[in-house]
């Protein structure tokens, strides 16, 4: 049963909002993989004040899950119970003060990198290659080319599960490789990032190089969630282990291990979330068998599975 059907009256128990509440909202449309079931209720708050009031007024037992633009997310086919929060325009401001960029949590990383470029602020170029939002980047401690959010964040603003506002330092966020220690149920609403004085043309050139490198080495236009597994702390990278285990091009249902970058899984068109997750688990199994290394999922998986018959893995 899809999550939305488990809580048919949920929307009536929620406080009034200025943004939009939608029952049984399909989430496949708002994630890069393009798969998965509905949110019991999808909430698009108008602005931080609207979100604060909502969190303060909603029944405590209703679970809340926040999503960015779903570039590191697999929503399971049975959907997500409770309320899924998607931040939009009211959270996408970008402001520059000297070498500091303040951005709302829904601002796209690319737009932050481009605004920094226009203001001749260097050090944020890596964000141009991460196709997510600032909220997702903070939560995942997104990084590339030797820099990550932990290196550039001055402070982040988050709401706790009751709407209380908190300003957090990098230490308080306990950043680690591709993760932060944001308490369960908290939502980032914005952050200030610090760069350093650079030359506009050099920053622009670096951003262009990053774009070219990505197009050459990654299926950037595909329905994918980016790197599926984190790189182990030492030894070969995840993609090398996957290659060694002979998984490049492996397919299951409509899911496939990318030929271009074998740490990426692709929805080739008609994949279910179950196909993608089962293929990922098969890759983990084969890598462990071949190399002795157990890969850990980087992609966040949310929601409930639907019962589905097994499908065959194809080489």
Ligand X SMILES: Cc1cc2nc3c(=O)[nH]c(=O)nc-3n(C[C@H](O)[C@H](O)[C@H](O)COP(=O)(O)OP(=O)(O)OC[C@H]3O[C@@H](n4cnc5c(N)ncnc54)[C@H](O)[C@@H]3O)c2cc1C
Pattern 78-117, ligand X, x by CB under 6 A: ---------x-----------------x------------
In this structure, what are the phi and psi dihedrals at residue 112, rounded to the nearest 5 degrees? Answer: -65, -45
Q: Is the CB of 120 or the CB of 189 nearer to ligand X?
A: 189
Asked whether position 140 contacts ligand X by CB under 6 A, the answer is: yes
DSSP 90: G
Asked whether position 7 contacts ligand X by CB under 6 A, the answer is: no
Asked whether position 33 contacts ligand X by CB under 6 A, the answer is: no
Write down the catalytic residue from 115, 172, 178, 240.
178
Q: Within a 10 A sphere around the Cβ of 14, how many other Cβ atoms? A: 17
Pattern 160-199, ligand X, x by CB under 6 A: ----------------------x----xx-----------
DSSP 106: T
Closest by CA to 65, choosing from 131, 161, 156, 157, is 161
Q: Compute the least distance from the CB of residue 138 to ligand X, in Å.
A: 7
**298 is a catalytic site residue:** yes
Closest by CA to 300, choosing from 25, 40, 36, is 36
**178 is a catalytic site residue:** yes
In terms of residues, how long is the chain? Answer: 315
DSSP assignment of 283-309, as one string? HHHHHHHHHS----B-SEEES-PPP--
Cα 133 to Cα 68: distance, rounded to the nearest angstrom: 6
Asked whether position 66 contacts ligand X by CB under 6 A, the answer is: yes
Among 129, 195, 253, 254, which residue interacts with ligand X (rule: CB under 6 A)? 129
Cα 216 to Cα 231: distance, rounded to the nearest angstrom: 20
SS3 of the chain: helix, strand, coil, percent, to 5: 30, 30, 40
Among 36, 37, 78, 132, which residue interacts with ligand X (rule: CB under 6 A)? 132
Q: Compute the least distance from the CB of residue 33 to ligand X, in Å.
A: 9
Asked whether position 258 contacts ligand X by CB under 6 A, the answer is: no
Identify which range of 12-20, 42-50, 123-131, 237-245 contacts ligand X by CB under 6 A: 123-131
Write down the catalytic residue from 227, 248, 277, 284.
227
Half-sphere exposure of 215 (CA within 13 A, CB side): 5
Identify which range of 40-48, 162-170, 223-231, 234-242 contacts ligand X by CB under 6 A: 223-231
Q: Is the CB of 65 or the CB of 272 nearer to ligand X?
A: 65
**71 is a catalytic site residue:** no
What is the edge-to-edge ordering of all strands in the sheet holding 224-227?
224-227, 264-267, 255-257, 251-252, 313-314
Burial of residue 12, with CB atoms counted within 10 A of its CB: 0-12 exposed, 13-18 middle, 19 or more buried: exposed
Binding-residue total with ligand X (CB under 6 A): 33
Identify which range of 41-49, 134-142, 204-212, 231-239 contacts ligand X by CB under 6 A: 134-142
Cα 169 to Cα 91: distance, rounded to the nearest angstrom: 20
Q: Compute the least distance from the CB of residue 297 to ligand X, in Å.
A: 11
Binding site for ligand X (CB under 6 A): 32, 66-73, 87, 105, 129-133, 135-137, 139-140, 142-144, 182, 187-188, 218, 220, 224-226, 300
The catalytic residue positions are: 178, 227, 298
């Amino acid at each position: 049963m899809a999550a939305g059907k488990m809580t048919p009256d949920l929307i009536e128990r929620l406080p009034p909002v200025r943004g939009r509440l939608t029952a049984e909202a399909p989430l496949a449309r708002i994630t890069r993989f393009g798969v998965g079931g509905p949110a019991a209720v999808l909430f698009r708050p108008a602005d931080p004040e609207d979100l604060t009031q909502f969190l303060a007024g909603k029944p405590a037992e209703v679970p809340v899950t926040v999503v960015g633009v779903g570039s590191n997310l697999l929503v399971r086919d049975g959907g997500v119970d409770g309320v899924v929060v998607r931040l939009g325009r009211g959270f996408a401001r970008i402001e520059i003060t000297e070498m500091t960029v303040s951005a709302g949590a829904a601002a796209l990383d690319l737009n932050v990198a481009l605004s920094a470029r226009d203001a001749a602020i260097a050090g944020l170029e890596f964000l141009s290659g991460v196709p997510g939002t600032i909220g997702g980047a903070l939560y995942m401690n997104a990084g590339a080319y030797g820099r990550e959010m932990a290196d550039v964040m001055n402070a982040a603003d988050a709401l706790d599960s009751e709407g209380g506002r908190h300003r957090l330092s990098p230490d308080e966020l306990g950043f680690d490789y591709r993760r932060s220690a944001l308490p369960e149920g908290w939502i980032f609403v914005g952050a200030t990032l610090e760069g350093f004085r650079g030359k506009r043309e050099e920053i622009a050139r670096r951003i262009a190089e990053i774009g070219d490198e990505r197009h050459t080495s990654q299926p950037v236009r595909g329905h994918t969630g980016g790197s599926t597994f984190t790189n182990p702390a030492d030894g070969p990278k995840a993609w090398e282990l996957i290659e060694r285990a002979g998984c490049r091009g492996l397919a299951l249902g409509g899911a496939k291990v990318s030929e271009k970058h074998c740490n990426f899984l692709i929805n080739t068109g008609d994949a279910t979330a179950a196909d993608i997750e089962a293929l990922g688990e098969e890759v983990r199994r084969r890598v462990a068998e071949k190399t002795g290394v157990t890969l850990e999922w980087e992609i966040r998986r949310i929601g409930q599975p639907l019962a589905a018959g097994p499908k065959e893995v194809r080489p």
